[in-house]
Structures are given as structure tokens and as C-alpha cells.
């Protein structure tokens, strides 16, 4: 799973990290993956300071070194194919995985303009 990192200094107080962790667990449970088959890496961030680890690149190398031949990337903190998803995951992370021996690399689709997603957003706005 790939997620955007909050600054490490605020991560323990940031409710988005707990939400991210519970969402990751729910996604993996729904896919019937065990914790041993699940890892979270963090995408790029701006500015200075410490950020959460591992980065998606570090995680990619680690997974390859563990002998993983297939990796499914789930962009957990993205609902659309933004530059971070398209470049960081589809280009940079895929290259890192491939260069380190991973044979099959897939990224789960983001919601983009899926009618069910748009209807859910519209419902929230109407409320």
C-alpha cells in the first residue's frame, strides 16, 4: 500500500495516520491478504524534516530482496490519478521493483470519475 507521509513530528497526533492504518487493514482483509503479505510505504513529500518510513522506494527494494516476484500497489491516499500516483507509483516505484527482480507489478485503479464514487461525493455535498 502506498500513502502520503505526514511529517514524523506530527504523525502521532495526526488522525489521518490512524485512519490510514485502519483503511489499510480493511483493504487487505477485504482482499483476504494476511499481514505477512501486506506492507505500507510512503510517497514523496515536500520540505525539510523527518518523514515516516519506509519510502515506497525503500519498501520496493526490501520486497524484492525478500524474493517477492509479484507486487500489487494500492494507492491508499489517492482517489484520482494525480502526478504522485502516475509518476511516483507507475514510473519510479515500478522501475525500482523491476530493477530489483519483481516480475509482475500492478497498481490498483483509483476511483477517478467512477459513477459510484461521484454519487457518494454528491450525496455528501447534499447532506
CB 93 within 8 A of CB 57: yes
Q: For 9-61, how does the pLDDT look when each residue is reduced to its tens digit (9 = 90+)?
A: 777 787 777 888 788 888 888 888 877 788 888 886 666 778 888 888 899 99
The pTM of the full predicted model, rounded to 2 decimals, is 0.76
Q: For 86-102, how does the pLDDT look when each residue is reduced to its tens digit (9 = 90+)?
A: 888 999 999 999 999 99
* Greatest Cα-to-Cα distance within the chain, rounded to the nearest angstrom: 49
Q: Residue 117: is its pLDDT beyond 70?
A: yes
**pLDDT number for residue 47:** 66
The answer to whether the bond into 111 is cis (omega within 30° of 0) is: no
Amino acid at each position: 500500500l502506498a500513502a502520503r507521509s505526514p511529517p514524523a513530528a506530527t504523525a502521532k497526533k495526526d488522525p489521518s495516520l490512524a485512519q490510514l492504518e485502519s483503511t489499510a487493514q480493511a483493504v487487505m482483509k477485504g482482499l483476504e491478504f494476511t499481514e505477512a503479505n501486506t506492507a505500507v510505504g510512503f510517497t514523496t513529500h515536500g520540505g525539510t524534516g523527518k518523514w515516516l518510513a519506509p519510502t515506497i522506494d525503500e519498501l520496493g527494494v526490501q520486497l524484492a530482496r525478500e524474493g517477492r516476484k509479484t507486487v500489487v500497489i494500492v494507492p491508499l491516499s489517492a482517489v484520482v490519478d494525480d502526478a504522485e500516483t502516475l509518476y511516483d507509483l507507475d514510473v519510479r516505484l515500478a522501475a525500482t521493483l523491476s530493477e530489483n527482480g519483481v516480475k509482475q507489478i500492478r497498481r490498483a485503479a483509483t476511483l477517478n470519475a467512477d459513477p459510484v464514487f461521484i454519487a457518494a461525493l454528491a450525496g455528501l455535498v447534499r447532506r
